[in-house]
Amino acid sequence: MLARLADRLDLINRSVGALVRWLALFMVLLQFGVVVLRYVYGISFIFLNEGVLYMHAALFMLGAGYTLLVDGHVRVDIFYAKFAARGRAVIDALGAVIFLLPSLAILAWWSWPSVRNSWAVMEGAISVGGIPASFLLKSLVPAFCVLLAIQGIACLLRDLSRIAAPQDADATSDNGTRA
């Protein structure tokens, strides 16, 4: 039951990941355009430069949950690889409960007033001539927290399922990935 709920939660970040991966391509194309305009034609537009910044921020912030889903985050692996599936599940569950979820809650709590105020005044461009939507950029912080928390909960549920699994399933059922 826990694994099925985790799979349903995974769908959220799979969908977001499928969408935001295109930002990498658009960001590269836009940056290429900025470079061509500047060095070939000698012109520059601040809103194009900020467009690269906005896409990079969105790609990073909205893609973090998907990265956790596919176990793509950097892991300091000193003892972790030596443990069986159950031991790794315990370490991952403790990491989610002690570090990940509380950190996200604190970040969401402290960033929310800034995001709320930014939306209240429809905060404009970062630079003169830039994209007049800083409120959208700031909104990526709580979105990051929500998406990463959803995936953290999905991973936690899956880890709890592994911990509760019978001992003999420990050696045969793990392939070393979360997805």
pLDDT digits (tens, 9 = 90+) for 5-49: 999 999 999 999 999 999 999 999 999 999 999 999 999 999 999
pTM above 0.75, yes or no: yes
The better pLDDT of the pair 3, 16 is held by: 16
Provide the residue type at 96 as one letter.
A
Tokens 């570090």, located at residue: 99
* Torsion angle defined by CA atoms of residues 21, 23, 25 and 30, in that order, rounded to the nearest 10 degrees: -170
User: What is the reported pLDDT for 169?
Assistant: 52
Asked whether residue 172 carries a pLDDT value surpassing 60, the answer given is no
3-state DSSP call for residue 96? helix
CA distance 165 to 50: 49
- Asked whether residue 178 is assigned to any structural domain, the reply reads no
* Contact of 124 with 108, CB cutoff 8 Å: no
- Asked whether residue 159 is assigned to any structural domain, the reply reads yes
- Asked whether residue 113 is assigned to any structural domain, the reply reads yes
User: What is the reported pLDDT for 142?
Assistant: 98
Number of structural domains in the chain: 1
Asked whether residue 149 carries a pLDDT value surpassing 80, the answer given is yes
Worst-scoring range by mean pLDDT, 18-27, 77-86, 132-141, 164-173? 164-173
User: What is the reported pLDDT for 168?
Assistant: 61
User: What is the reported pLDDT for 175?
Assistant: 46
- Asked whether residue 89 is assigned to any structural domain, the reply reads yes
- Asked whether residue 6 is assigned to any structural domain, the reply reads yes
> In Å, how far are 59, 62, 73, 116 from 21, measured between CA atoms?
7, 10, 16, 27
CA distance 98 to 126: 36
- Asked whether residue 179 is assigned to any structural domain, the reply reads no
Tens of pLDDT, residues 84-138:
989 999 999 999 999 999 999 999 999 999 999 999 999 999 899 999 999 999 9
* Torsion angle defined by CA atoms of residues 135, 136, 138 and 143, in that order, rounded to the nearest 10 degrees: 140
* Contact of 155 with 92, CB cutoff 8 Å: yes
Determine the structural domain holding residue 142 and report its residue range. 2-172
The better pLDDT of the pair 69, 177 is held by: 69
- Asked whether residue 110 is assigned to any structural domain, the reply reads yes
- Asked whether residue 99 is assigned to any structural domain, the reply reads yes
